[in-house]
Amino acid sequence: MQAGNVGGDITLNIGAPTSLTSTGVVPTPPNRVVPRPELSDRLVDKLLSDEDDDVVALVGVAGAGGFGKTTLAAAVCRQERVLRQFPDGVLWVTLGEQVQEADLAGKINDLTVRVSGHRPLLTDPEQAGQHLGAILDNAECLLVVDDVWRASQLAPFLHGGRSCRRLVTTRMRDVLPTGTAQVAVDAMTPQQARTVLSEGLPASSDKAWEPLLARTGGWPVLMTLANRAVRKYLQRGLPVPEATKRVGDRLAAKGPTALDITNANQRSLAVAATVEVSLSLLAEENHHLLERFLELAVFPEDAVIPQRTLEVFWGHTAGLDDDDVEQLCMQLDDLSLVQGYSLNATPRLQLHDVIGDYLRHRAGLRLTYYHRSLLDAHRAELTRTNGTTAWWELPRSEPYLWRTLSHHLHHADRNEELDTTVCNIRWLLAVLHRDGPAAVENDLAHVNAPLGAALRRVITQNAHLLAPVEPDNALAATLLSRLHGYSDLTDYVAAAITAVPGPYLSSVWPLPDTPHPALQRVLTGHPEPVITTAISPDGTWLATGSEDGTVRLWSAEGASIATLHGHSHSVMAVVISPDGTWLASASSDRTIRLWEGDGTPIGALTGHTRGVMAVAISPDSTWLATGSEDRTVRLWSAEGAPIATLHGHSHAVTAVSISPDGTWLAAGSHYGAVRTWSSDGSHLATLTGHTGRVTAVSISPDGTWLATSSYDGSVRRWSSDGSHLATLTGHTDWVTAVSISPDGTWLATSSYDGSVRRWSSDGTHLATLTGHTGKVTAVSISFDGTWLVTGSEDCTVRRWTVGGTETATLTSHTSTITTMAISPDGNWLATGSDEGTVYRWANNGSLVATLTGHTGKVTAVSISLDGTWLVTGSEDCTVRRWTVGGTETATLTSHTSTITTMAISPDGNWLATGSEDRTVRLWSSDGAPIAALTDHTDAVTAVAISPDGTWLATASRDRTVRLWESDGTPIAILTGHFNGVTSVAISPDGTWLASGSNDRSARLWHREGNHIATLTGHTKRVTTVKISPDSRWLATGSDDGTVRRWASDGTPISTVADHSSRVTALEISPDDSWLASTGHDRIVRLWSQKKDMCVSALRVDADPVGAGWLPGSSECAVAGTAGPYVFRIIT
């Protein structure tokens, strides 16, 4: 069964029969089931009905606890008619009153594992539900959500799964969506009740059962208990009439004489009385059996209790051996004091929640003692150091405590131990490996200490990075790196580093991609840059538009709701109607599309003759305005009928906004002007001042002023009559959007400089939000003013709280990092960015110099061997020479196209630069031209200078490598590659060189130019080639994601690293011990030459573009698009 592109091929099946509820598997109805056709037939009919046209088809089974909702649902799921209707099977999940937040997400993730084989890294239930829904979109299956207590528990299961039906059991009818088809489960009929009461007993007159019928009220759970009590008396010689009378009398003594099942208090009394009868029989056989049963109060609602757990528990409290435990479980099952007992491959027991409630009530203050006893039973099997139990040493296969330890520690009043254990790095890592970040969040929610909140914040913000990575210690390296740089976690990280065994990479500098404290969550899904965002008036959902041509709807919590297809080109603007019932999107395909709030298409508006860049909806939701590259603004009715066309702009209309009272509108244009019109089309004013394209217009809530943003890098405030009020400056690149808060006291702006800024309405800067790894293209403020969302060219949407402060992270680059170089002594490094700025950093991470002068992206940086000067190349076609203090000493201007590569000679007397202009140029160290090497016929991609500085090698897209004397005299042309050459490296001993190519191969050559070997094995282009310091081997990286090692004669040695996407950088340590690689999968991998294997890895949250080793071979630096990382090898 194909389920779209999310989960691949998945097969759903009912699974092996079991009498218990495990996630994904339908519980087998007990052997003693009385048919209730008046309920089951109605339920099947509703499940199979095709009258429900809703996207989410849902049937509810509602009734009080113990009336058979779960039994009914499980029996129906086994009916042949149902199985035929749902050929992809039945999925079952049981919730319960206490399941919420991260624990709920974990339950949903468990279902996802069952159907796809992979556990998602989702800690938010809405996101987890959407992911599951996407996998199930084409699955013809029945999803059963059992024991739902709150609407918030059910909501995540209502996403996607368009071909699924949902069956929900609940005690709370109001959790079901309005209009849900329901089957009410209440008392059994008198005949059904007699059948239950008399099951397994000799025939007797109906009169014998009358007292028990009255006192059990047709309540299945009570009648089953009463039946077992009667059967026990029969085993002791009493006839049926006497046995029923004995049980009836004992019920009358403590319970209601005639049970009104609609009365909750009477139900509680009846449960207690009925259970007491069974307990008295249990105590008569063996007093300790009663105590063992009462100890079951320790287990949470709906818990599946492995027999192994009971063996440890009861072995500790009563010295029972495994056989004793098995016998006791069977006795409890015989008395129906438990819901089920299974002796399959993993024996387990489960309590009915009605019985569990009774046990917890009866336990009273002893419940704390029971929790402590359970913990002590398991504690005995673990190491204890200084009084601390090493709970993280639980066997990975331990079936129960991994997910419930924090629950039991909390209820045992062991809060200090809870805090210590759950916050211990070894416990965090063990749970992450076993159950993912949702389980860690759930544990940390029990912690009252500030450390717990700090750790939970880090886990939540970085959950998308915390998937297991090979090798096993990579997850530890990633988590430790994400914890680095928080002032309140400094001591914790220092202690954690010593507790985690090496080797692994540990952060030395604060991470440049550390989440801003205002960041709440990251929304991923668009495969192309996000252009526009909008938030619904009630703040419960949002919409985004992208270059991928789609509009996506999300819940406010970040879960994807729907993807809206229809546009054939980029979506340039999206807006939600003030009444929240529909939305409009504008596209460069020249159309505006209208959609219902759930994503259902309404229609398309055509008339513009070029791309539509902007759209706004009137306050009463009855009309809309659009702006287009055809230089017009058009007004339309909400039904799509044209109303008017407004002319006046002489260039493309790029922004439009309607006043809060709907009486006027404003539109900005590509040439910088803003024009205002009355809603009838009369021109009011023209606002001039911007010197670049106007990207957005926002009108204040009271309609007295407006704000505009522009490619000129500024935001301007105007009065509604067109008077200029203020200019807000601070962004260092184009300002792409502006949004005014609902109370009009502040505004937010986004920019190509990668930041979002908040300003007071008078222009005072309030805060800067950083974190996007690409240009920020959109910003929207929620209608209560407490949060905002942003969109970016990094393809993500981010949600932020309002009022956050800036982090103390290394984010001095305001745009994407493109290149990096490390000084030979390792005391500093330099990075360049696509904004043209170069920064120099000390080895402690502090900024020591800013180099400005380039007017285009910096493409290359090289540092002299003595570390006293550096050179940089740029898309502005220049090469610039700088002192380490940042003073520019020369500008080299002979190239006519982008500089692609450069190298400085070992003696520092000259340098070589390559360009897309097909030339290599040689320069003296003071910038004087030496020679122009013009033999390449396509762009030069790489240059390398020999160790003795007497010759150089250059590579080109013309498929050749050329060798030259240091004065520019040609030596040789190396041919053989049949596609462009991407890289070249010269061995440290100067006797051979290697080249990599788009033809998927690397080639080895003698220094004179003779071919040595062709290295084949990569399945995509070779992007980088590096030679070891001893010249005995080399490594190649490829777009196929692999790093391969080869001997210097071309013999393959090994494949040492597997990235899931292209390799972006590769560096060998100076002592030849380590190899570091980075990939577009955002993973840094560390390979050991001695072990010939990858020994550690970690994830970062930005694309790595370069790497290098510091002297001493214990630290490496990685250039990421968000900034530089420095890692130390912990051994």
Decide: 939 and 957 in contact? Cβ < 8 Å: yes
Decide: 1116 and 503 in contact? Cβ < 8 Å: no
Alpha helices (runs of H) in 380-448, residue ranges in sequence order:
401-411, 415-422, 425-435, 437-444
Q: What is the largest CA-CA distance in the chain?
A: 117
| pLDDT of 397 | 84
Helix or strand run (H / E) with residue 487: none
Tell me the one-letter amino acid at 1062.
R
Smallest CA-to-CA distance from 309 within 417, 405, 443 is with 405
Residues 577 and 645 both lie in one domain: yes
Decide: 797 and 127 in contact? Cβ < 8 Å: no
In a domain, 309, yes or no: yes
Residues 968 and 913 both lie in one domain: yes
| pLDDT of 255 | 56
CA–CA separation, 588 and 470 (whole Å): 43
Q: Find the CATH number of the domain harbouring 55.
A: 3.40.50.300
Residues 595 and 630 both lie in one domain: yes
> What domain range includes position 399?
365-467
In a domain, 389, yes or no: yes
| pLDDT of 591 | 96
Residues 458 and 592 both lie in one domain: no
| pLDDT of 12 | 33
What parts of the chain have a pLDDT lower than 70?
1-25, 28-32, 51-56, 205-206, 217, 251-287, 559, 804-815
Question: Structure tokens of 638?
Answer: 């909400």
Residues 640 and 783 both lie in one domain: yes
Asked which of 467, 486, 510 is the last residue of a domain, the reply is 467
In a domain, 240, yes or no: yes
In a domain, 590, yes or no: yes
Residues 315 and 371 both lie in one domain: no
Asked which of 363, 393, 428 is the last residue of a domain, the reply is 363
**DSSP labels, 822-858:** E-TTSSEEEEEETTS-EEEEETTS-EEEEE---SS-E
| pLDDT of 240 | 79
Residue pLDDT, tens place only, 524-558:
778 899 999 999 999 989 999 999 999 999 888 77
Residues 662 and 795 both lie in one domain: yes
Ramachandran assignment for 1116, one of left (phi > 0), alpha (psi -120 to 50 degrees), beta (any other)? beta
CA–CA separation, 615 and 576 (whole Å): 10
In a domain, 491, yes or no: no
**DSSP labels, 1083-1114:** EEEEEETTTTEEEEEEE-SS-EEEEEEPTTSS
Residues 324 and 421 both lie in one domain: no
Residues 406 and 437 both lie in one domain: yes
Residues 920 and 781 both lie in one domain: no
CA–CA separation, 847 and 842 (whole Å): 6
Tell me the one-letter amino acid at 100.
Q
Residues 333 and 431 both lie in one domain: no
In a domain, 1047, yes or no: no
In a domain, 840, yes or no: yes
Residues 590 and 701 both lie in one domain: yes
Whether cis (ω within 30° of 0) applies to the bond prior to 471 is: yes
- Give Cα separations from 578 to 92, 644, 1069 (angstroms): 39, 22, 60
Q: Find the CATH number of the domain harbouring 998.
A: 2.130.10.10
**With helix as H, strand as E and coil as C, how does 716-749 read?**
EEEECCCCEEEEECCCCCCEEEEEECCCCCEEEE
Phi, psi of 308 (to 5 degrees): -60, -40
| pLDDT of 252 | 67
Decide: 736 and 757 in contact? Cβ < 8 Å: no
| pLDDT of 55 | 44
Starting at the edge strand found earlier in the chain, the sheet holding 1063-1068 runs 1063-1068, 1074-1079, 1083-1088, 1093-1099
Number of separate domains in the chain: 6
In a domain, 228, yes or no: yes
Question: Structure tokens of 1037?
Answer: 């990286």
Q: Find the CATH number of the domain harbouring 314.
A: 1.10.10.10
Asked which of 736, 766, 801 is the last residue of a domain, the reply is 801
The answer for residues whose C-beta is within 8 angstroms of residue 955's C-beta and 6 or more apart is 940, 941, 942, 943, 961, 981, 982, 983, 984, 995
CA angle 783, 785, 787 (to 5 degrees): 100
SS3 of 139, please?
Answer: coil
pTM of the model: 0.74
SS3 of 661, please?
Answer: coil
CA–CA separation, 357 and 264 (whole Å): 13
CA–CA separation, 131 and 113 (whole Å): 11
